[in-house]
Amino acid sequence: MASFEKRGKKWRAVVSVTDGKGIRKKISKTFDTKKLATVWSIEKENKANTGYNILDSKMIFSEYYANWVETYKRPIIRESTYIRYKSWINNVKNLFGDVRLDQLTNYQIQQIINNFGQTHTLKSTQGFLVSVRSSLKDALLDGYIDKDIFSRVKANSHVEKPKSENFLSAEEFERLQGFLYENQKEVTSNPKILMVLIALETGARLGEICALRVNDIHTNQLLIDESYSATSHQYTKPKTKSSIRAISIPSKLETVIRYYIKKTSKNDILFAPQHRANISRGVSAILKHAGVHQIRFHGLRHSHVSYLLHRGVDISYISKRVGHSNTTITLQVYAHLLKEKEQAQDALVLEILS
């Protein structure tokens, strides 16, 4: 129950509220009239009764966000993902400054995201916005804000990422494949040749290939159950359960891998940890000598999927092979490739019907 006291010509309202730790505290404010003081006290009491945490709503958002990352996210995310969240903590500090939770508005957040998008790609802006939204959603559930001020905020960007075909055509795939097998004896002096070959033949991710061990090599099969992060320098379980898989491999790939193991006397990890930049340079040199256009290492995975689609392999099998949890993800990631295949099929149907 609020209390009021007259101080000269003004009225002071005092309301008792509970903080996030369950401790009751008093807040007060002075007004020109008792009516204004009463309206204010009723508003505060009503908000407190609906779960709104009046005291903690005064917390600076950047401080809340940092605490939210440590409390809600760090226990459930990989170390490499946590490193990304730490960069977002700095972004929140720089962009939101000393703005309190109770001062945030939908319009203000949208302006900040717009500014962020001025210097970041759409993908980066979307990732940052998702984290901000998630933190504010929890703030709403915890009673630190009293309404949804985040759902309507949209990500946009004025930074265009240069578009390039990050996958090889069927002809280039076969050319690179042939080049790698022709130079298979060089894998002992240049392990990147084997890394590229494994990626091309299996569609495995770079982190998965870097985490391969001797006991992951089986007869016509490659076991994927770990991933290496070049950011955190840690070997961890793959990101999703579906990423743990056994991939069928041709016997000639198995032969090259076993040759490499024998000649290098490997007894555990196949490839020594190295910087991504070093791997990228090695891949670039291999692609140049093979006479195919430049793609990133992850493009080898895309090339694997593209080639299997080109050869008529079922999308559900491809989805399991590359470690997607369902075909929907595969369809989303490789929609552009499927569109090309659809166009090719259209041309084939028209040719047949003609």
Domain that holds residue 81: 61-141
Which pLDDT band, with edges at 50, 70 and 90, does 336 fall under? low
Q: Please determine, for residue 343, whether its predicted confidence score (pLDDT) is greater than 70.
A: no
Q: What's the pLDDT score for residue 147?
A: 87
- Give the residue from 54, 74, 92 where a domain finishes: 54
Residue 53 has pLDDT above 80, yes or no: no
Structural tokens at position 184: 């298979």
pLDDT per position as a tens digit, 131-188: 999 999 999 888 888 889 999 999 998 887 655 678 888 899 999 999 999 999 999 9
Q: How far apart are the first and last CA of the chain?
A: 85
Percentage of the chain beyond pLDDT 90 is: 55
pTM (2 d.p.):
0.64
CATH of the domain at 266: 1.10.443.10
Question: Residues 128, 11: one domain?
Answer: no
Residue with tokens 């299997």, as numbered in its chain: 308
Please indicate, yes or no, if residue 128 is contained in any of the structural domains.
Answer: yes
What's residue 160's pLDDT?
A: 74
Q: Cβ-count burial of 254 within 10 angstroms (0-12 exposed, 13-18 middle, 19+ buried)? A: middle
Could you say which of 120, 141, 162 is where a domain stops?
141
The reply to whether 261 falls in a domain is: yes
The total of structural domains in the chain comes to 3
The contacts of residue 240 (CB under 8 Å, 6+ apart) are 323, 325
pLDDT at 204: 96
Final residue of a domain: which of 16, 34, 54? 54
Helix 106-117 to helix 122-141 angle, to the nearest 10 degrees? 160
**Segment 191-227, tens digit of pLDDT:** 999 999 999 999 999 999 999 999 999 999 999 999 9
Same domain, 223 and 242: yes
Domain of 94: which CATH number?
1.10.150.130
Q: How confident is the model at residue 344 (pLDDT cuts 50, 70, 90)?
A: low
Residues 331 and 226 grouped into a single domain: yes
Residues 227 and 90 in one domain: no
